[in-house]
Chain A
Amino acid sequence: MIEALSYDFMQNALIAGILVSLISGVIGSLIVVNRMVFLAGGIAHAAYGGIGIAIYSGFSIFLGTTVFAVIAALFMAFVTINQREKIDTFIGLIWAVGMAIGIIFVDLTPGYNVDLMSYLFGSILAVNDDDLYFMGLLFIVVLFIVTFWYRDILAVSYDSEYAALRGINVKLFYTLILILSALTVVIAIKVVGLILVIALLTIPIYIAQSLSSSLYMMMISSGFIATFFTIVGLWISYSYNLTSGACIILVAALSLMIFMIGVKIK
């Protein structure tokens, strides 16, 4: 591992992995406590539409994915804000339609098609400096929002009806959580791919949830647990020349299993 770090791409991969893990810990916690896991999954798959459009029209794929995912999040916020019972239908809708749009646009792109596998399963070893800046910026934004609006976010997540009574703008924070989820999904796609995004956003959080008695403790411990999974996964991926995203997720899943057995025995 140490000698691997002499390569630039490995350094970038490591920094990206840590940043994405920390952000996933914070936003994943919000996604889990708000019971939005499949909503985030829907946005992740819808983001593929953005990838397709970006490839077709030739602009930055990162930008295309970001814009498309945020639009998907805003659409979901708009349609579910007053009727959360219909949320499943709309998740299915954006999930499938987003992917369909992506595939059609890739079909329409003349010539050689980009390696789609890298979006499905991540391409952390191909992270460049621009990606890192974007991740760093998002990390700062997430920290800023969660620090200054912690109580409002906590109140909206725990008991939105009561939060509304206390004069908190529930719709605003609901939308904000969705947009942050979309942005997190976009950068997590880079690391583990859109198929495995949900695992990164839930497994560390599940372990952290049973260890924490408050939301911020859960966010911090999820972040560190996710970082651990990412580093170990990357190391295995490098040592045995395996797909990094899949390694990270399998390390996480295996750890979860050991953790659950440990809890049972105790």
Chain B
Amino acid sequence: MTGVDMLAVLISTTLILMMYTILYRENPAFRLGEHIMVGSTVGHAVVLAVFQVRDLAWKKVQSGLATGDIGGIAYVIPMILGILLYFQFSRKYRHISRISLALMLGVGIALSIRGLLFVNVIGQIKGACKPLTSIENVVYMVGVVCVLLYFVYERRASKVAGPLPKIGRYLLMLTMGSYFANSIMGRVSIVIGTLNNLLTVPAFYLIPVALLIVIADALTRRRKAAEP
């Protein structure tokens, strides 16, 4: 490990430990770590965004101007539309930014609608209609029907359906449970990933240092609280 690598590990470990101090209590070290994280993420995103504008638009405009290619010069239009978005910050001219927003929304919806229909409607209906050749498929089909019936709010239809909507409700609750359990598993995975970095040398040596600082703070606070 080179000196630079070691320094990087120590800095990242210090920041991780600063963030974890929130488990003890709200404190300036946590807030500093939080601000550093937000600042560095935004800084990195801004730099990448500038590069994107340069590579995807500015260079094409430049080459368009040099060669007289109208297609290249046309890239100036999205650049202007991008600038218009900043009128959002002006109370007087805010409406101008809506031109760009409307265009973005229109393009976004137009792009996604063709795929969404095929994937989320037609594909899902086709996927749900399985041949009832196995217990798994039967359970799947019954589940689909019950859950759909749960969302039928017409009283007479609900009466005909009998207990099926209730079964649908239980199936939905099972699904929510699965979401929640997966969420917990995900959070544990995050802690595992972080601790795996912390529990390697030289990062490991910073843990007792952090613990000592926390204990010292706890003792100081207790002493202060005991003072009249």
A and B held together in a complex: no
A residues whose Cβ falls under 8 Å from a Cβ of B? none
